[in-house]
Structure 1
Amino acid sequence: MSLDVQTLPSDVINLIAAGEVIDSFAAVVRELVENSLDAGATRIVISLYPNLWRVQVADNGTGMSSPDLQLCAKAHTTSKIRSTEDLRKITTLGFRGEALHSLAQVADLEIASRWASDPDAPGWQVVYNRQGEPDKIETIAIAPGTIVTVANLFGSLPVRRQGLPPLAQQLKAVQGLIQQIALCNPSITWQVRQDEKPWFNISSGKSAQQILPQILKPIKIGDLHSLNLEVEAPRNSKSQIELVLGLPDRCHRRKPDWVKVAVNGRMVRSPELEQTILSAFSRTLPRDRFPVCFAHLTVCPSQIDWNRHPAKAEIYLHSMEFWQERVVGAIERAMQLSSANLPATVHNRRIGQLIKAAEAKTNYQIDSPSKILATQSSPETESKPQPNGNPNLKPKHQISLMELRAVAQVNKTYIVAEHSSGVWIVEQHIAHERILYEQLQDDWKLVPLQTPIVLSQLTSAQVEQLQRLGLRVEPFGEQLWAIRNAPEMLSKRDDCADGLLELSLGGDLQAAQVATACRSAIRNGMPLSLSEMQTLLDRWKSTRNPRTCPHGRPIYLSLEEASLARFFRRHWVIGKSHGI
């Protein structure tokens, strides 16, 4: 038996983007690792010798027979496609049949392999010339799988070597590449060595959620939530979205460097989907912070054109708007408060850091809680589950929200809530702020004022800012301006003038909605009855992003039953607790 490696017909060759790019250590590792994955490997060992310009990749995949080994490094030879029709249903990472031939042209290429399907088959080792033809063939003792050695990389092209980035930069690129591939293929065990010394390892897992903490060391599994959704894609094709996101009340980044998108097992650059993810996290994180999110789409191969970039890092994905909507819906669902998406152990030690990173607040004049809750919980103004206020982007799946029962108020600031697996402490002001902000997102109204509000000493920039928000501003005398309409929520408040003055200080519509919600929310220090607390909890847990306020502050502190049991040592037997 063999893989039946064949030379591609000329019509297929003409349709393939010409020229595999072998321009660095990372490119060599990428091509060899993709071949290992296509061969069904579950364990991959990568050995790098930067100063010797040498790379070796060993795997425990299916291996190759002697006839396949003699043919595999020739131009346009592959076992993965046969005809032009196969280009429309690619399921492998490699398909062009150029990688090994390109390597043979720029380095000394040697492959040792043993066909795993035949236990009696010997291992073979082949050394190739610059044309990818066998120079030397011999049998060797080797376990089933393949070992590819690329030595003296670019030795015959000294100008190319000189044009490469420093080795340290290339090695960093190799590390990033392996980490990305590991996220897309969590069942693989990785060992990476540098100059015969261990560099880093990545253990296998059941999902990308178990891989990500091995890559981003400060992040723990409890900081992440994983979600798998079946999707009815266009043309009635069954597809799937795997989502691993950092919960916004537990982790975030200073740069948008961990918003990653993968399609069918390969990390790709997709500006449209990446921007969609960033927008979905809007007003859930502190200012100038960015989410941790990995979205892996499993799509019908006919909906993808891989033949866009030599390294296959960019693709043409059909029905982009459809996938943008589904990704937004998946993020919404992952953000919901339900027993299904709450990890058993909650890492609360970062709460202080998250609060410190969030924007500072100002104390505002307040109304009574009964009045606020009564006027802002009518069916007409209740927050609706529409991502970013767009009625066309509704989550396809609904989930059962967890039950929360208000039991007490602490320091007229925190609501103590009981649920099936522990106790939560919810800060009443920012929970109400989240409710009102999403309500304003869905129903931002400007209403006429019976009596215009007169503001003084406004600058031209402040006047223009109010006008940009849709407010009618008219001169009313020397250094006086009459405001004739206002956001509906502010118009009912005694401090409406202060609120309008705040809106004039800058920001877009979203910032105005946040400021309005913050000013209108119940203040800390205000007593609430049990019924008022319960109303607040019920409305808060139904919001789209209940974990943080619009400034990125965490709304609740979780004390799970498992943590309480450990703290009070309830697992001790009575005799042991009495010293018996």
Structure 2
Amino acid sequence: MSSIIQLLPDHVANQIAAGEVVQRPASVVKELLENAVDARATDIKLIIKDAGKALVQVIDNGLGMSVTDARLCFERHATSKIRQAEDLFSLHTKGFRGEALASIAAIAHVEMKTKQDQEELGNHIIIEGSKFISQDAAVLPKGTSFAVKNLFFNIPARRNFLKSDTVEYRHVVDEFQRIALAHPKIHFTFYHNGSEMFNLAPATSRQRIVAVFAGKTNEKLIPVQEETEIVTIEGFVSKPEFAKKSRGEQFFFVNDRFIKSGYLHHAVMAAYDGILKDGAQPSYFLNLTLPPHTIDINIHPTKTEIKFDDEQALYAILRASIKHGLGQFNVAPVLDFDRDSNLDTPYHYKDFDGATPTIQVDGNFNPFSEERPSKQFSTYKKPESTANWESLYVGLDENPNESQHLTFENEEITSSLFQDEEVENSVHKTYQIHKKYIISSIKSGMVIVDQQRAHQRVLYEQFLLNMTVKQASSQQLLFPLNLFYSSSEMELISGLQLSLINTGFVFEENDTDHIVISGIPVNVTESEVSIVLEQLLNDLQDGIPESSFSQNDSIAKSMAKSLAVKTGSYLTEKEQENLVNGLFACKDPNVSPFHKPTFITMRVEDLDKKFAL
């Protein structure tokens, strides 16, 4: 029998490896930016077109590469970071496995230009699908320029799995922000389709965070700093009142490398225990510095997960340091407008000593004496004699018929438990049970309605109708609302603006970091606007649907979920009736917008069976 196992060709092996390293354009952005940082660049430019599908280019002023290194960097497992297995536990750089460039070159058109500072000429290399097309000398500036074009050009199936440009662009922005936040001393510039999206000058960590997320980021940050033998923690967490429902602004950096850790996230949430609303998520930007030999960063293909040597101690230190930072914020002096200023010590009396009071005693004072005491010792006034108390009632018995008559309002009893008169008018049409279900009688028995799901269905169809007909009613605000968002959130809102206008929102101004709303839908209160928009952004964080109908459907579902009456809310009898009537007036009253049943029916025969012996 002939052998059936054979070695894969290099270009096939590279394409398979690319499946682990390169999942989307954002993966290319991550690898190229990390290489630029490892090259000790102080100025890095990121240029993309069509969300990275057509072009991803990174230009840096780093060390550059020699002729030999420029060719070897595209070979599998070729790296300058490690020499032996032990080096994996003493890493101080980002890339180290030597698979990124080989994988990228296997599935795209790559053009690299690089030059070292001491060399007169640089190298210009072109590779298409792992095949070297050319390598020539060229006059170039110091540093390296990588241009990755036509991603997945030779794997159409992988290209078909890419999302819309909006979604892919958002993933690219996420990767860019992670690298930029981890290295505030480097100048980063980001261009998309010829437009400058970010221009981040070298700054401190706090300034970099504010520059990336804009808005009111600066006023919500609380510094966190702790230095121990195990770990050094530096960074910022947000004040509790700025917590959001989404988990967008949450960053852990270990030795300047972005990671994801549910264990460390739990430590942060434990520090906020008792001061956050249910479902709220705080923002945090925390950089943990640990000895390289105490962590293993080679457990995940994308290197976003790390194994720690002593997780329990790290958990306790992180939780305590955040609690300490929050405690310092809470005990800081604040303006109290309810304090009575009359009780404050005047400023010009602050250095005065209080005078000791003098005590005078009248040795001749006799409490049983009839004489009036001296005024300087007492102001006591002896009550008048009450011997003639009958005089208080003189005249009350005269003309008794003219005396004032008092009338008392008797409580009228309108019904009785066993009274048969007008029973039909006193019977409730609906009942609320446990502030969750509404029971209404029907001819065959009764119907039990889930109030939250029913209201979701009513609101969903109402919003969808308004967006389809484009005749939504708006209520004008006396004072316009200013809502601040990050750049990525503003990008999403811009894509949703037309649909939001059709639901009843009126946008007065759209800036780079905030929006001004002067009108809102009639069934939305002013205090609910920020909650509705935040929930909408959270629901659509994986991308805005391309078709207008799908977009309207997603917005209607999100707004219905935010505005629907919640379980545990008390409803009056009128509100119960309106909700039940509104549900059965819907086109599809049987299920909520999320395909959950809104009501069940129970027949009289079913009840009879329950009571049958």
Shorter-normalised TM-score: what interval? 0.5 to 0.7
Larger Rg belongs to: 2
1:223 equivalent to 2:202? Answer no
**Structure 2: distance between partners of 1:259 and 1:55:** 26
Equivalent residues of 1:109, 1:149 under 8 A apart: yes
Q: SS at the partner of 1:77?
A: coil
Which of 278, 300, 306 does residue 315 from structure 1 map onto?
A: 306
**Structure 1: distance between partners of 2:276 and 2:90:** 40
Equivalences for residues 174-189 of structure 1 within 5 A = 174-189=172-187
**TM-score in terms of structure 1 length:** 0.53
Alpha-carbon shift at residue 255 of structure 1 (Å): 2.3
1:272-291, Cα deviation, whole Å (9 max, x unpaired): 10011012112223454321
Question: What does residue 273 of structure 2 align with?
Answer: 282
Question: Aligned letter for 2:110?
Answer: L
Alpha-carbon shift at residue 410 of structure 1 (Å): 4.4
Question: What does residue 162 of structure 2 align with?
Answer: 164
Question: What does residue 240 of structure 2 align with?
Answer: 248
Equivalent residues of 1:243, 1:330 under 8 A apart: no
Equivalent residues of 1:260, 1:274 under 8 A apart: no
Alpha-carbon shift at residue 61 of structure 1 (Å): 1.1
Question: Aligned letter for 1:306?
Answer: I
1:322-375, Cα deviation, whole Å (9 max, x unpaired): 1111111211221233xxx79xxxxxxxxxxxxxxxxxxxxxxxxxxxxxxxxx
Question: What does residue 333 of structure 1 align with?
Answer: 324
Equivalent residues of 2:18, 2:103 under 8 A apart: no
Question: Aligned letter for 2:309?
Answer: H
Which of 227, 232, 235 does residue 229 from structure 2 map onto?
A: 232
1:135 equivalent to 2:136? Answer no
Question: What does residue 285 of structure 2 align with?
Answer: 294
Change (3 A) 1:412 1:244: same
Equivalent residues of 1:40, 1:61 under 8 A apart: yes
Q: SS at the partner of 1:245?
A: strand
Change (3 A) 1:318 1:85: same
1:214 equivalent to 2:211? Answer yes
Question: Aligned letter for 2:106?
Answer: Q
Alpha-carbon shift at residue 409 of structure 1 (Å): 8.9
Equivalent residues of 2:120, 2:139 under 8 A apart: no
Question: What does residue 90 of structure 2 align with?
Answer: 89
**Structure 2: distance between partners of 1:28 and 1:336:** 42
Alpha-carbon shift at residue 414 of structure 1 (Å): 12
1:39 equivalent to 2:36? Answer no
Equivalent residues of 1:111, 1:149 under 8 A apart: yes
1:324 equivalent to 2:315? Answer yes
**Structure 2: distance between partners of 1:318 and 1:415:** 57
**Structure 2: distance between partners of 1:417 and 1:63:** 68
Alpha-carbon shift at residue 71 of structure 1 (Å): 1.1
Equivalent residues of 2:108, 2:128 under 8 A apart: no
Question: What does residue 27 of structure 2 align with?
Answer: 27
**Structure 2: distance between partners of 1:418 and 1:101:** 75
**Structure 2: distance between partners of 1:194 and 1:405:** 44
Equivalent residues of 1:259, 1:277 under 8 A apart: no
Equivalent residues of 2:75, 2:102 under 8 A apart: yes
Q: SS at the partner of 2:216?
A: coil
Change (3 A) 1:243 1:411: closer
Alpha-carbon shift at residue 200 of structure 1 (Å): 2.6
Question: What does residue 303 of structure 1 align with?
Answer: 294
Question: What does residue 257 of structure 2 align with?
Answer: 266
Question: Aligned letter for 2:253?
Answer: A
Higher RCO, Cα 8 Å, sep 6+: 1
Q: SS at the partner of 1:69?
A: helix
Aligned length: 334
Equivalent residues of 1:19, 1:310 under 8 A apart: no
Equivalent residues of 1:48, 1:55 under 8 A apart: yes
**Structure 2: distance between partners of 1:405 and 1:21:** 51
1:98-142, Cα deviation, whole Å (9 max, x unpaired): 0000011001111101113x1x4322211125336x431222222
Equivalent residues of 1:20, 1:99 under 8 A apart: no
* Structure 2 runs not aligned, ≥5 long: 1-12, 348-433, 435-613
Q: SS at the partner of 2:190?
A: strand
Q: SS at the partner of 2:248?
A: coil
Change (3 A) 1:183 1:413: farther
**Structure 2: distance between partners of 1:296 and 1:414:** 47
Equivalent residues of 2:64, 2:142 under 8 A apart: yes
Change (3 A) 1:18 1:204: same
- Aligned alpha-carbon RMSD (Å): 3.2
Change (3 A) 1:409 1:252: closer
Equivalent residues of 1:183, 1:212 under 8 A apart: yes
Question: What does residue 152 of structure 1 align with?
Answer: 150
1:38-77, Cα deviation, whole Å (9 max, x unpaired): 1111221111112762211101111111111011101110
**Structure 1: distance between partners of 2:31 and 2:343:** 56
Change (3 A) 1:413 1:279: farther
Q: SS at the partner of 2:228?
A: strand
Equivalences for residues 403-442 of structure 1 within 5 A = 410=338
Equivalent residues of 2:271, 2:320 under 8 A apart: no
Equivalent residues of 1:74, 1:131 under 8 A apart: no
Question: Aligned letter for 2:125?
Answer: V
Question: What does residue 66 of structure 1 align with?
Answer: 67
Question: What does residue 548 of structure 1 align with?
Answer: none
Alpha-carbon shift at residue 97 of structure 1 (Å): 0.2
Equivalent residues of 1:43, 1:60 under 8 A apart: yes
Equivalent residues of 2:129, 2:154 under 8 A apart: no
* Structure 1 runs not aligned, ≥5 long: 1-12, 234-238, 343-400, 420-460, 462-580
Question: Aligned letter for 1:281?
Answer: Y
Q: SS at the partner of 2:321?
A: helix
Alpha-carbon shift at residue 229 of structure 1 (Å): 2.5
Equivalent residues of 1:93, 1:266 under 8 A apart: yes
Q: SS at the partner of 2:240?
A: coil
Alpha-carbon shift at residue 418 of structure 1 (Å): 12
